[in-house]
Structures are given as structure tokens and as C-alpha cells.
Copies of this chain bind each other. A is one copy, B any other.
Amino acid sequence: MPRSGEEARRRLQQAALELYAERGFDRTTTAEIAARAGVTERTFFRHFPDKREVLFGSEATLRADLTRSVAAAPEGLSPLEVLLHAFRKAGHILEGNRPFAEPRLAVIAATPALRERDLAKAAAMADALAAALRARGVGDRLAGLAAQVGWVAFHHAVGAWIADSGRSLDEHLDEAFAELRTLAVEMG
């Protein structure tokens, strides 16, 4: 039996990821996830409301980290610079979790139910970033556009980093934002 709640949580996530990859999301039950993690099903439900959420357990932490970093970013940065600053700060959460991140993305891409949840989480994340930019004085609608565009670039960078382990997430973030800049500047 895992000792701490935090350890049980991590083991449940690992077990779920393995089972989804082995036999598919639809054919995996919460009881099986709990069994593989060496905990009871009741413990599963103490940590996660359903078998989709088990793969999104770090989202709340990431969101809190990101919005805090947006608030604390230096004065004088432009909205996308503020977001890049925040993504670089929060990147360590993903960096420390790389062995989990890669199979997680693969399972989500292959499972419509998880893909829908992932898209909903992404929309909520962009909303939170927009609110954090507004709190810095960025105009209402511009904050919404900046947050969504920034989130797209972040997602793009994470995908590139998963595919290319030779470079750090920071390097991929810088590159994605540079590509974004080039795309926009090329407009006449």
C-alpha cells in the first residue's frame, strides 16, 4: 500500500496510463486501475471523480502556476511576452514529468472521450490566462485573443518537445513563439 496520498495519486495516474495504452480507455475500469496501483477503488474516487480526470490531475496545478506567473511577470512586457515568461516558469512541471507526458499525449490523441476533455481543459486554461492578463490591464478582447494564441503556441511547443527529446522545453517554447512572430510579420 502506498504510504502518502500524494504517492497513491501518482500510482493511480501511472496505472491508468498503462492500462489505457495496453487495452484502451473504454475497456479499462476504475477497479482495474485501483488494483494495479495497489489501492482500493474507494481511494481512486477520493483522488479523481472519474476515469477521464485521472489523466488531467496536474491541470489545476499548472493553471495556478501559470496565472501566478502572469501576475508576477515584470512590468513593461507585451501580452505574449508575459505568457512566454509564464510558460517558461511553469515548464518545470512538465520537464519533471516527461516520462508520463509522452504516453499521456498518445493515449489522449487516440481516445475521443479523452480528447474532448483535453480540449475543454485547454479552453478553461485559455480563459484563466485571459483573466490573468486582464488583471494586468490588458484590454478585454485583446486579452482573450492573446491568451488563446499563446496557448496554441505553448501546446505546439509541448508537442515538438515530446517529439524531440534533444532540446529543452524552453528552447521549444522560444522557437514556437518565434515562429508565431514570423507568421504574423509575414502578413502584409
Contacts and interface: CB of A to CB of B under 8 A. Distances in A.
Nearest to A78: B186
Q: For this complex, into which size category does the number of interface residues on chain A fall?
A: 35 or more
Contacts of A141: 156, 160
Nearest to A139: B179
Closest 5 CB pairs of A and B: A184-B184, A78-B186, A119-B119, A148-B152, A181-B184
B183 A185 contact: no
Given A120-B115, A187-B177, A145 B149 contact: no
A176 interface: yes
Number of copies of this chain in the oligomer?
2
A149 B179 CA distance: 11
Nearest to A176: B145
A50 to B, nearest CB: 14
A180 B148 CA distance: 11
Nearest to A123: B119
Interface in A88-108: none
A35 interface: no
Interface string A104-127: 000000001001100110110000
A123 B122 CA distance: 11
A134 to B, nearest CB: 15
Interface string A127-169: 0000000000000011011101100110110001000000000
